[in-house]
Structure 1
Amino acid sequence: MATTTVAVINQKGGTGKTTTTINLGSALCKLGKRVLLIDLDPQANLSYSLAVTEPKATLADAFLGNNTLQDVLLERDGLWVAPGSNELVDIEISLVAQPERENFLKNMLQDVKGFDYILIDCPPSLSVLTLNALTAATEVLIPLQMEVLTLQGLDQITNTVQKVKKAFNPKLKIKGIVVVMFDVRRKLSQEVLEYLQENVKEPIFKQSIRLNVKLAEAPSFGRSVLDYDPSSNGARDYKALAEEFISR
């Protein structure tokens, strides 16, 4: 099986992007897939959420050429992680002036072998680092809350993907939209979902991710929700999402 590289993006913070990267990755791992998570966000929330707090080397070191990407990888509960750090802020600033600045991550990933899926947790902005993720990826996954303002942001994301596809990465495609933090008690959530289904051409995964307290608790214990509480709604939702993800 060839490696599928997926950029998980949303230009807003707090949209379930990191949660989806970790837990979809964990669910894929438990389905027998070998999974690498790339923490491309300078806030390094993915790394913290998997108890990677003081790594010897990070993704920033790989960008600088101090280490290969393979050198910085760590294993957590069967997942492999390329840790992020706030030094990625400086990396992003330095990349702006570099020739072919969009290809750094793609070139680094060429040395990493043996994974079925690579999931890239992108920064909460459409930045040079995000451009690197989109150039390296074959697919894009968009976690989306069912709020009115997210619809406006979705247009910006899809336009950016199309521009990157045209300019740098003709293989790039949108895998789909994942509905996250879905509150079945709110009428607005259902209304926004129905609007999306009727008006958005991008595919929407049938499996949504319900609001679930265990999803919020799991990072405090440095684990995915599937390892923290496998019987929770959050774990069940992400396992079902992973099965649908593979079937597509």
Structure 2
Amino acid sequence: MAATIVSVINQKGGTGKTTTTINLGSALRKLGKRVLLLDLDPQANLSYSLGITEPETTLADVFTGHQKLVDCIQERDGLFVAPGSNELVDIEISLVNQPEREQFLQRLLEELPAYDYILIDCPPSLSLLTVNALVASQEVLIPLQMEVLTLQGLGQILNTVQQIKTTFNADLKVKGIVVVMYDKRRKLSTEIEDYLKENLEEYIFQQRIRLNVKLAEAPSFGQSVLDYDASSHGAKDYLALAKEFISLG
């Protein structure tokens, strides 16, 4: 069976995008799934957070044709990772002149062995790399903080998804919105969540990701929160999210 390819996107930095990619991936792996993470963000925070600080080959080498994607992949605690690097900024510039530039990543992924899920950590911008990820994906996952300014960004993300769906990838759909950094003590969190439920057609995951210090600590140890502290709220929340994620098909 072909992998389910999921782009994890948010235009705003610091929104839990990378944290969600890593920890949802780790939770899916603990539920018996074979998972590949693609670090498509030039900041390479995903790679660093899993202890991959100086990879010999990265996705930048794959995009230039110097390496095959399968040779770039590393294993970390049962997760498979294709590392990123800041050289992806230059790759984006060079892609502009490529024929069928929007399908470049899609063609690369066709060469891979079997995975259950491929999660793509996209850049925090609606760039050509992000477009490549969306064209290659079947699903989009949107981590969202309960802040007023995030609502404006959400509208832009949904518009972009619709444009990609219309132009390049008719099968693309929004899997759902994940509420992250949730603090039930803040009235604003509840108000924004209620607003989303009333005004959006997109699915909002019932499992919220609570604010949790262990989520912030785990990258310093090069681990997902599930490997760093399985008893933490962060680990429990992402495991429950993974179960809900699978149940949606």
TM-score calculated relative to the size of structure 1: 0.99
Q: How many matched pairs? A: 248
Separation of aligned partners in 2, 1:12 and 1:96? 23
Separation of aligned partners in 1, 2:84 and 2:233? 28
Hey, what does 1:68 align to over in structure 2? 68
Letter in 2 for 1:25: G
Hey, what does 1:90 align to over in structure 2? 90
Hey, what does 1:228 align to over in structure 2? 228
Separation of aligned partners in 2, 1:213 and 1:12? 21
Letter in 2 for 1:195: Y
Letter in 2 for 1:60: A
Equivalent residues in 2 for 1:137-152, closer than 5 Å: 137-152=137-152
Aligned-residue offset at 1:133: 0.2
Separation of aligned partners in 1, 2:71 and 2:102? 22
Equivalent residues in 2 for 1:80-229, closer than 5 Å: 80-229=80-229
Separation of aligned partners in 2, 1:55 and 1:155? 36
Deviation digits for residues 77-116 of structure 1 (CA, Å, limit 9, x no counterpart): 0000000000000000111121211111100000112100
Separation of aligned partners in 2, 1:76 and 1:45? 15
Letter in 2 for 1:203: Y
Aligned-residue offset at 1:184: 1.2
Letter in 2 for 1:17: K
Aligned-residue offset at 1:206: 0.3
Separation of aligned partners in 2, 1:94 and 1:21? 26
Hey, what does 1:240 align to over in structure 2? 240
Structure 2 runs not aligned, ≥5 long: none
Structure 1 runs not aligned, ≥5 long: none
3-state SS, counterpart of residue 120 of structure 1: strand
Separation of aligned partners in 2, 1:19 and 1:220? 13
Q: Which segment is superposed worse, 166-175 or 23-32?
A: 166-175
Q: Following superposition, which runs of at least 4 residues in structure 1 exceed 2 angstroms of deviation?
A: none
3-state SS, counterpart of residue 178 of structure 1: strand
Q: Aligned-pair RMSD on alpha carbons?
A: 0.6
Letter in 1 for 2:46: L
Aligned-residue offset at 1:2: 2.8
Separation of aligned partners in 2, 1:133 and 1:99? 17
Separation of aligned partners in 2, 1:146 and 1:113? 38
Deviation digits for residues 15-72 of structure 1 (CA, Å, limit 9, x no counterpart): 0000000000000000000000000000000000000011110000000010110000
Hey, what does 1:55 align to over in structure 2? 55
Aligned-residue offset at 1:178: 0.3
Separation of aligned partners in 2, 1:213 and 1:200? 30
Hey, what does 1:37 align to over in structure 2? 37
Percent identity over the alignment is 75
